[in-house]
Each structure stands twice: as C-alpha cells, then as structure tokens.
Amino acid sequence: MVHFSADGRPLPTPTPITAPYFDGLREHRLILQRCPRHGYFFYPRGRCPVCLGDDWEWGELSGKGTVYSFTVDRAGHDPALSSRIPFAIALVDLDEGPRLVGNMVDCDIADIAVGMAVEAAYEDVDDTTLLGFLPAT
C-alpha cells in the first residue's frame, strides 16, 4: 500500500525485509545488506543476488560515491512533484560497490556531471527519511 507525505509525495512502505534499510535512513545512516562472498547489494531481498546465499548481514556504508548517470525532470510527470521542477535524479555508484538511485539535492542542476563525487543526504519527510545525494565536500 502506498502512503503519501503531507505535501502529496508518494512515500515507500517498509516491509519486514526492507525495514532495517529504512530504519537506518531514519537515523541518517546508510545500511545495506552484505554477502560475505560478494559484498554489498541493493535492493533489500532475502538472498544474495549473485550466489543466492542467505547468510548476509546488514552493514553501514560511507554514503560516498560517484554519479554514474543522471536525468533532469523538467516536465513534471507526477503532479505531486510539480513544485520541485526541475529536479535531478542520479544513479550513484557507491565507493563500496552497489549502485543506488536518489534525487540530487543542495546543488545547481547545471553543475551535475557524470563522474561527480557525491555523498548521501537524508531528507526527513513526515515519518519517513528519503535518501538523496549532494556534491561531496
């Protein structure tokens, strides 16, 4: 079931598998699953996507990475996000390996570039915290 923020944005609904990830975000920490053989992986799931092992653990990452790709939404396909137009969505390769997606925040869209160093940013929205990225300091 989808729930919405006070400003109308759709928010994720944690499941038993994803709850530790969202609990970490709420603490402004990036917590992902880590297979002892293949390292960190994302999105949260019951088994390692490489070896299908179920002996993974949750571990904390630095939140640092580089922009792999990005796009800028200038059209506003979701009416709930129209007040944020334009905004950039980036695919980020974290230093520890996995690739995540998040909005770019606290930066000029014209300054975003592939290969740009970024770090995790946390946006508290109602009872949820969302992951975004900002230029590394």
CATH of the domain at 66: 2.40.50.840
pLDDT in tens, 16-51: 999 999 999 999 999 999 999 999 999 999 999 999
For residue 127, being part of any structural domain is answered with yes
Q: Which amino acid is at 61?
A: L
> What is the distance between the alpha carbons of residues 28 and 108, in angstroms, rounded to a whole number?
23
For residue 8, being part of any structural domain is answered with no
81 is in which domain, residue-wise?
A: 15-135
Q: How many helices (H) and strands (E) does the chain have?
A: 1, 10
| End-to-end CA, the chain | 37
Taking 50 as the pLDDT cut, the residues of the chain under it are: none
Token representation of residue 63? 């939140």
Per-residue HEC secondary structure of 66-124 comes to EEEEEEEECCCCCHHHHHHCCEEEEEEEECCCCEEEEEECCCCHHHCCCCCEEEEEEEE
Which pLDDT score, from 0 to 100, does residue 22 have? 97
Which pLDDT score, from 0 to 100, does residue 36 have? 97
For residue 50, being part of any structural domain is answered with yes
Which pLDDT score, from 0 to 100, does residue 84 have? 85
> What is the distance between the alpha carbons of residues 70 and 36, in angstroms, rounded to a whole number?
31
For residue 6, being part of any structural domain is answered with no
Report the predicted TM-score, pTM, of the whole model to 2 decimal places: 0.90
Which pLDDT score, from 0 to 100, does residue 107 have? 95
DSSP annotation of 25 reads H
The enclosing H or E element of 32 equals: strand 30-35
For residue 30, being part of any structural domain is answered with yes
For residue 45, being part of any structural domain is answered with yes
User: Would you say how long the chain is, in residues?
Assistant: 137
